[in-house]
Structure 1
C-alpha cells in the first residue's frame, strides 16, 4: 500500500471529507471511500457521502490549498469518568467532561455536516455563539448553536494521528478534553500532544 500512496486510507473505509467550496468552507462530511487512484497527477478519492444519498459519488483530490481533504472517522467521545470502561475498535478516544468554555475550538453539527469554529460566548437555553473559521478555510460567520450539537475540534495527520489543535495546546488547554489512545481492553493512556456536496450549513 505504501507503494501506491502515503495516506492510510483504503477502499470501503468510512471517513470524513473536508469542503473548501465557497458556501461550504470549513465543513466536514461523513463519507465512504469507494476508490483511490492517481488522476491528473494528483491522488484522488471517489467518495460516497453517507448523509446525502441522492448526491452522486464525487472525485476529490486528497490535497487542496495545502490542506488534507480526508481523514478517518471521528473518534468516539466518552465522559472522563467513564473512560476506564471504554471498549472500542478505534485506536483513539476522547475523554470529555461535557462542559464548554469560551474560546473552545468546536465542530458544529448543522445540515448533516460538521462546521469548524470557536465558541465566542455561552448563551442561555443550552446555546452558545459560534464563529466559523475565517476564509479561505471557513465561512467566517457567526451563529447561535445548541451545545448538544457541538463536539471538540481535533486535527488529524498521518504522522501524528488525532491530536488537539495546536492553538489549544498548552496552559490554556488544561480544561480541554484529553485525547487518549486505547492500548488494550478498556485501558487508555494520554496520547502525545503537539504544539462537497453539502447543501449548506451557512444559512
Structure 2
C-alpha cells in the first residue's frame, strides 16, 4: 500500500496495467464527489473497466462540462462494472467529512457485484479494512482512467440527487450549485437558515445555528 504521484496530464491505463501484469485480475478505481459542499451527502463510486472496452474521452470529472459527463456516464455504465455509495449528512456531522468519505469509498468497493482484487484510490487516504491490494494515487482522477471513470460516476450521481433535492428544499438553488459554498448559496443560507441537507459541522452552517 502506498501513495503514487505522476507528472502526466492525460489519464491512461498504466496503473491498472501494472497491477494486471502483477497478477491481479480485477482492478477498481475509486473516487468521490461532494467532499467540499455545505449541503448534501458525499458520494463515492467504484468502477472496474474492461481493458478492451474503455470509452473514449474519460477524464477527471472536474475538467468536463455537465453534458459531457452525462454522455460518459452512460458510456461507462454500458461497458463497466460500477457501484456507488452515499455518506449522508448525519454521518458527515457525526464522524467528520474525511471519515465519512472513506466510509463511502469502502462501501462503494464492497458493493461491486464481483469483488475487485486491487484498488486504485484518488488522493492520499485509503479506507481501513479493505481486504485487497490498495494504492492511493495523488491526482489519480487526472492520471488513472479507472479513477477518472469513478469521478464521473460519483459526480453525475450526486448532481442528479442534488437537482432533485432542489424540488424539496426550494430557495437554496441546489440545482445550480449542488450545495457548494457559492455566493448565491451563502446568501440563501443567510436568508433562510440551514435545512436538513446542510452539514452542521461545517463552520459557515454552524455559524447560523442559534446557540441553545
TM-score tier by shorter-chain length is under 0.3
Bigger relative CO (Cα 8 Å, ≥ 6 apart): 2
